[in-house]
Amino acid sequence: MKSHLTFDFTVNKETNTVFVQREFAADRHVVWDAYTQAEILDQWWAPKPWVSKTKSMNFSVGGRRLYAMCGPEGEEHWAIQDFTSISPKKNFKFFDAFCDKDEIINTEMPSSTWSIDFEDKKDTTLVSITIGHKTLADLEMIIAMGFQEGFTMALDSLDELVSTIKK
Amino acid sequence: MRRDVFQAIADPTRRAILVLIAAQAMTPNALAEHFDSTRQAVSKHLRILTECELVKQSHTGREIYYELELKKMKEIDNWLEQFRKIWEARFTQLDSVLSKLKHTKK
């Protein structure tokens, strides 16, 4: 079933934008909850073996989510999301920046602006995520950081694979 | 100490240097004019970028020009694939969370 779900991932270096689109086999209000409720977000936001831990979340315009991406070696990457616009079950927007656990924003790390759209399809919900960066260098830095996390992820799958082979 | 491309672009000044020399090859002095930091600080950043092979030097008369090493910058493009995989992994996790949510509702 998974293979029928649309997945699109585009990086536009002219506009310093990442565009991600994915269909989900669930009703729009359920998908909306999964993106906007901390306890559900933490179950999927971090690619394993990373874990997402939301310390606080006030999902309202002007509100903030403070969370950490925790790595297998004890790494903690703290970030905030400041909600700038919410149209219930249709779209929400936020400003994303790296910080420390005391919410002091790290201005040396790239920030980004996110817009997430939810749309009904026949039996699914289509989610479109647009992530804007200030400069191409910012975008490349984010990609490089993704590389780090993706790499640990790949190593983890390798571990799993190796343990399956052993058995 | 071993240096990698990630480390090179983790610093905002170094990223700014890369953006500047992407447009045209520049001397350390010309680069330093764009920053509040000292010429020595800029040289240190250039040394790190050179060690990571993100920039290369060319000599014109007595001047040293720094330019972008395009081949190495391409490595960053290759990382895109990893970035895409993160999103895929994230969404696969969301698929199972959603199916769990559906079952609890029923």
pLDDT for residue A34? 93
Report CB contact under 8 Å: B87, A20.
Answer: yes
For chain A, list residues with pLDDT below 50: 1-2, 161-162, 164-167
Q: Is A1 exposed, middle or buried (0-12, 13-18, 19+ CB in 10 A)?
A: exposed
The whole-number pLDDT of residue A166 equals 42
Q: Say which of B6, B84, B94 has its CB closest to residue A34.
A: B94
Q: Report the candidate in B1, B6, B44, A68 with the shortest Cα–Cα distance to residue B17.
A: B44
Nearest-CA distance A88 → chain B (Å): 19
B97 vs A2, A34, A149: nearest CB: A34
**Residue B1 has what pLDDT?**
45
Amino acid A140: pLDDT: 81
Of residues B84 and A120, which shows the higher confidence score?
A: A120
pLDDT tens-place string over residues B3-15: 667 667 767 788 7
CB count, 10 Å around CB of A46?
24
Contact yes or no for A2 and B95 at CB 8 A: yes
Q: Under 8 Å CB-to-CB from A117, ≥6 apart: which residues?
A: A90, A91, A126, A127, A128, A129, A130
Confidence band (pLDDT; 50, 70, 90) for B80? confident
The partner residue sitting opposite B102, judged by closest CB among A5, A30, A153, is A30
Contacts of B84 in chain A (CB under 8 A): 9
Cβ atoms within 10 Å, residue A165: 7
Region of residue B27 (phi > 0: left; psi between -120 and 50: alpha; otherwise: beta):
beta
CA A67 to chain B, closest CA, distance in angstroms equals 16
Closest A-chain CA to B101? A30
Each residue's pLDDT tens digit, B58-76: 998 889 999 988 777 767 6
* Cβ of residue B92 closer than 8 Å to a chain A Cβ: yes
Q: What is the pLDDT of residue A12?
A: 86
Q: Are A9 and B84 within 8 A, CB to CB?
A: yes
Q: What is the pLDDT of residue A162?
A: 46
**Per-residue pLDDT for B54 more than 90?**
no
Mean pLDDT on B30-47: 90
